[in-house]
Amino acid sequence: MRHARRTLRRIVRTAAVGGILCGTLMVSDAMAGAPAQGPHAPASGPSGRVVADAVARLGPERTAGRWTGEDGRPVVAVTDEGAAAEVRRAGARAEMKRHSMRELRAAADALGRTPRIAGTAWSVDYAANQVTVYADRTVSRDAWERLQGAARQAGQSVRMRRTGGEFTLRVDGGSALLGRGGRCSAGFNVTDGRDNFVLTAGHCGPVGTSWFRSADGAPRPLGTTVARTFPGADFALVRYEDPDAFDGANAVAVGGGRTVAVVGAADPVVGQRVFRSGSTTGLRSGRVTALDATVNYREGTVTGLIQTTVCAEQGDSGGPLLAEGVALGVTSGGNGDCAEGGVTFFQPVTSALSRLGVRVIDGRLRPGASPSGSASPTPTVSPSPSESGAAAGGGADAGNAVGAPPVDPGRSRPTVTSIVELPLLLTGLVVIGISLIGLGAVRWLLTERADRDELRTSYAQSWG
């Protein structure tokens, strides 16, 4: 009987400790989207600019990518001990890898020169130090064998992986954009200083496509696509033509009547937690797993994409990807769904803004206020300039994001509405509370048992 009680106490104590740890993780995940000081506040650790400068000095021969670790600190892959020491002096964690960034990029470039096979994709996995090639279920055995031959020629850093589902564009954030060819999602509101536009996915429709919005259950005119790139890249501009369709604001709906103000744009970092909104599946979260990914859709090849673990479904195309109020991308395509999960790719916002000659409207401006900026001609597509690796929100400091107003050093940054998963937060707190009660009960039982033993011993000594 005594052994059974000890076993029961041990089980309750172990379960309570496990409950506290589980609840703590749930609360941490629920609060992961909350900025500490503003839209660009680093999570912890050194300045991202200091780390980026160290990586730039070492060059692609001695480094192999950088990402944000689970603890929020920057991690840099290096190829020699000297480079590792310099990375540590910059305040980041160094991981020794076999293949340099130059080798990884050369392998990816070699894959890009192979004959196109629809249903395939590849990206550089920094943490695994390899180029991962994906082939969906539509890729035949013969095509798979040809791809394996190309991978062998590309180098030892290439790894092949079959994946379920099919890489598709998510036609059929953002609010719904209704067109004759299908349904997409609105991304971000942008401006050229004269006209206002919606930035969305290029595959949603060609130039001249008319778009409608749903108002009171009926379609209302919204605007027309005036600039578009697809394939190659995947972005488009829809000019607002209905005065009632644009109120001067720029915010992303996150459910429950809440919105997050968009304050600028920047490039993400690998490992960063991000959020996506779409007209089909609403708000979803995940992490960035790779940058500069290439996807061979049936409709064409798109390069330079952001790869994530965020799910998406038909109709989510063009919807916004963001972190802490900073615009990162618009939904392009992927595989899987939000029931079983999958991989989703996004067109980076920064490259789209640069090529279109527009900037993100500051969502902190009062609705109807005229955004500052000089007028420029109607946007046209121009060659993409070289892109920087500046990060936003995920533990690296990007400075001022593209499209964000200059920051006065003498003033604190305005706070940005955070994305907090309230159900997960409440569940985590309840789990922690129950676990603490369990620990308290066990301690009370142990104390009571100790008092009884002490009293029994005292009686035994008194009565001989």
Helix (H, G, I), strand (E, B) or coil at 301: strand
From 157, 185, 317, 351, active-site residue: 317
Is residue 317 among the annotated active site residues?
yes
Is residue 234 among the annotated active site residues?
yes
From 203, 332, 354, 362, active-site residue: 203
Q: How far is CA 178 from the centre of its chain?
A: 26
For residue 252, what are the β-bridge partners?
260
How crowded is residue 340: how many other Cβ atoms within 10 Å of its Cβ? 9
CA-nearest of 29, 46, 40 to 91 is 46
| DSSP string computed for 192-216 | -SSSEEEEE-GGG--TT-EEEEEET
Is residue 203 among the annotated active site residues?
yes
φ/ψ of 24, rounded to 5, equals: -65, -40
Three-class secondary structure assignment of 398-453: CCCCECCCCCCCCCCCCCCCCECCHHHHHHHHHHHHHHHHHHHHHHHHHHHHHHHH
| DSSP string computed for 215-234 | ETTEEEEEEEEEEEE-SBS-
CA-nearest of 44, 36, 48 to 413 is 36
From 125, 195, 234, 362, active-site residue: 234
Which residues are designated catalytic?
Answer: 203, 234, 317
